[in-house]
Structure 1
């Protein structure tokens, strides 16, 4: 019966802390243990770490043209957009997954012999970007590296490194909270065992921010880190539990 109650308490802690997590919209923390004794209580910081693999990617690219005539620049950009779209579809990207941004327009002015810009418009620059969201991580990664082949087709194309996400993060965070709480319980038991005491009733539990980093990273932040540059990541949860000392 004690084991059943103990298991329930971990679940209760996880649920309470998960609610706090949602309310505070927190991400990332450290994975070390800090212990202190005060008023016959023991405060223990427990942690849990797990490796995860991204299952969703967002990739963007951009292309631009310039011309002395606005109408000509627009025609050039429209032609480049068609080339980009064909390249992506031929590369296996569904047409419905390709999202083109609105066209951005800017001007550049004539430069006088003294290096000062005049008020005379010398030409126009038109810019457009594309965005693709997909669960096919390998395809997006490959595309981001090879899409500059469009340059060979006369398109001034720039590829931006993809962002990688783990879509089941909300459920995983609840699991990590429970594991971190269990770790805090275990650490409290080990620390008190040498004195002949043991942890009693849980008085309070506080959730730190989650830390999502590339593997083997030692980067930490009080405000949290949510890495989107790596396919493989590590997530660390930290929970501080205050136990009565029996």
Structure 2
């Protein structure tokens, strides 16, 4: 009797282990099938006009009398400011930096007699505005300040005109939606070509937004770009 009971118990254990193994293998096959994925990228781009401008206007003066030099710098700073106001810029959009004075004689290690002017002064008048068209037009006409004896310095990296776009947050939702839709179009094409069906999204990663000049000739026109990376499940 005990042997018969043990045999029956062993049979049930055997059948149970067999069933468990079958279920485990079936589950493994299902998981393996679910792991078939395709990863695609979707692009969205916009062209926008800058909504902020930073326009530094730098000029330099030289002289041997420090007091006279300061007076000249103040007069020419006032002339630049007057030019800007005549072109519609307000007091709040214009900033005049204090002049930066360099004593060339104190810095010279050679013969100071060769220095024509002991002092040099550099001043920057900066416009910060949302009036992009006014900046562009004024930049064309600022050469007229030369008639007043104001020699403007060329733009370098530190004092270059910058056109900025600050409305990115308003574009993000629609651009992310467009990038995701474009990614799905690519994924559907892949699924069709591979005789598969496109399933649910496995993972989605939004790329970083970038804002660049459309080209070097029109820095006030910006190109906004984002790339989304999406992985979809595939099934037969």
TM-score band, normalised by the shorter chain?
0.7 to 0.9
How far apart are the structure 2 equivalents of 1:42 and 1:191?
Answer: 8
Q: Which residue of 1 aligns with 2:63?
A: 67
Single out whichever of 120-129 and 96-105 deviates more from structure 2.
Answer: 120-129
Check 1:177–1:111 CA distance in 2 against 1; reply closer, same or farther (3 A cut).
closer
Shift of 1:39: 4.1
TM-score (norm 2): 0.73
Measured against aligned partners, the alpha-carbon deviations of 1:54-89 in whole angstroms (never above 9, x if no partner) come to 222221101121111211211111111111111211
How far apart are the structure 1 equivalents of 2:110 and 2:86?
Answer: 44
TM-score (norm 1): 0.70
Q: Work out which of the two has the higher radius of gyration on C-alpha atoms and give 1 or 2.
A: 2
Q: Contact 2:81–2:125 at 8 Å: present in 1 too?
A: no
2:135 aligned with 1:140 = yes
SS in 2 for 1:157: coil
Q: Contact 1:59–1:131 at 8 Å: present in 2 too?
A: yes
Q: Contact 1:188–1:198 at 8 Å: present in 2 too?
A: no
Q: Which residue of 1 aligns with 2:163?
A: 164
How far apart are the structure 1 equivalents of 2:223 and 2:92?
Answer: 33
Shift of 1:110: 8.7
Q: Which residue of 1 aligns with 2:187?
A: 188
Q: Contact 1:54–1:166 at 8 Å: present in 2 too?
A: yes
Shift of 1:111: 11
Aligned positions, number: 196
- Find runs of 4+ consecutive structure 1 residues off by over 6 angstroms: none
Q: Which residue of 2 aligns with 1:89?
A: 85
Measured against aligned partners, the alpha-carbon deviations of 1:147-185 in whole angstroms (never above 9, x if no partner) come to 121111011223645322222112213321221111111
Q: Contact 1:53–1:232 at 8 Å: present in 2 too?
A: yes
Q: Contact 2:102–2:119 at 8 Å: present in 1 too?
A: yes
Task: Identify which of 123, 136, 141 aligns with 2:118.
Answer: 123
How far apart are the structure 2 equivalents of 1:165 and 1:174?
Answer: 20
How far apart are the structure 2 equivalents of 1:170 and 1:83?
Answer: 39
2:225 aligned with 1:230 = no
More strand by share: 1
How far apart are the structure 2 equivalents of 1:167 and 1:211?
Answer: 12
Single out whichever of 144-153 and 201-210 deviates more from structure 2.
Answer: 201-210
Q: Which residue of 1 aligns with 2:25?
A: none
Q: Contact 2:210–2:225 at 8 Å: present in 1 too?
A: yes
